[in-house]
Amino acid sequence: MRRRREEPGWLQGKPPPRWARLAPAVALVVLVFAQRITPGDVELGFFLAGLPPVAAFAYGAAGTAVFATVVLFLLGVPWLGVGHARGTDLATVAAIGLLSVVIAWVRRRRDAQLVSVRTVAEAAQLAVLPPVPDRVGPVRCAGLYRAAQRGTLVGGDLYDVRIGPYGVRALVGDVQGHGLAAVGTVAALLGAFREGVLDDPELADVAVRLDRRLLADTAGSAGSAAPAGPPEPVDPADPAPAPAGYPELFATALLLEFPPGLDLVRIVSCGHPPALLLRASTVSEVGVEPGPPLGLGLAGPDLAVVADVPLLPGDRLLAHTDGVTEARDTAGDFYPLAARVPVLAKDPAGLAGAVWEDLVEFTHGGPRDDVALLVLSLPDAADPA
């Protein structure tokens, strides 16, 4: 699975590139050589005083101190012919060098803290939404996730593929909001889905479980937004709407189930964009009557419409979030996913990656919303699975 990662720059914890480390040394040699071939009435040596601050961005305190010492030596020894600093001039250069050493020390400490924080944050986010394996039971999987918020791995979209006693089940969803603010809701939905994979015999029951999870979270997070008086208790067995006055927390979702031994997929849509079925060179939307979004208290076994879609060898299902189809180009046109898939499906690098690259080109830099893509297929008859 590919993830959008905001790689740390060399000023944000990543080791500086080679050119950044060589630049101060090269500038030192060039300035000394230029001063030696310049007439005596032209003073270039004092430009050396700017090298320690430059070195502070690429070296630690010790390396910066070496540059500061070399600069002081070159400017303070007259017979070298580089500079003729005396008194207050030499003291000023020394003060600049000392300040540069302090800056380098602070920067190194900050970089170490930043690396530690990033490592913990990435581990936590990957625990919430781990990579999808290439195969779950008999189902082949390929996923791609791009968070809208820079520097994050998880946003407001989610997907997962799990195997249980009732077959392989997959979830693609999009919660209210995006970025880190939605990660808590994503984690709650994924936890409820993984329980439903093991416990719920019907796919519609999984949708009900997710709906109840959001209802409970809505009531529990109302806080000061709740109406005056004690809140009404929320019965997890009763999919009733949240009490009036409480903020709504909702999500759209597409649930898929591959029953064992059957060449079909069962799909339940909770207000989510339809999946695409790729069959040979044709692409079509999977006709599923959408139910209400999750979190509104409207989901139930009687309202969730389960569609059985027969699958042929070589068929692929592409589930996605609205971050794909609602992405616009500079003219304001929406991204034509269904029209582009037949061409992109031929990319040897994989359909999910090809769609993302095409989406970035279409939007001139990438969409501003979270993007999740999940490609699922059953093995061919010749595949030993």
| Structure token digits, residue 377 | 């297929």
**CA angle, 213 then 179 then 273, to 5°:** 65
**How high is the mean pLDDT of the chain?**
81
Q: Residue 200: pLDDT above 70?
A: yes
Residue 236's H or E segment, with its range, is none
CA distance 229 to 315: 55
Count Cβ atoms within 10 A of the Cβ of residue 8 and give its class: 0-12 exposed, 13-18 middle, 19 or more buried.
middle
pTM as predicted: 0.70
Q: Strands across the sheet with 307-310, in order?
A: 157-164, 167-175, 251-258, 264-270, 307-310
Average pLDDT over residues 61-80: 83
Q: Would you give the distance in Å from CA 61 to the centre of its chain?
A: 34
Q: Residue 265: pLDDT above 90?
A: yes
| Percentage with pLDDT > 90 across the chain | 41
Q: What is the DSSP string of 118-140?
A: HHHHHHHHHHHSPPPPSEETTEE
Instruction: Give the count of beta carbons closer than 10 Å to the beta carbon of residue 152.
Output: 20
Q: Are 155 and 175 in contact, with CB atoms under 8 Å apart? A: no
pLDDT digits (tens, 9 = 90+) for 107-162: 888 888 888 877 777 777 777 788 899 999 999 999 999 888 776 777 888 999 99
Average pLDDT over residues 337-341: 94
Average pLDDT over residues 17-35: 80
pLDDT at 199: 95
CA distance 317 to 258: 12
The count of C-alpha atoms lying within 13 angstroms of the C-alpha of 148, restricted to the half-sphere facing its C-beta, is: 22
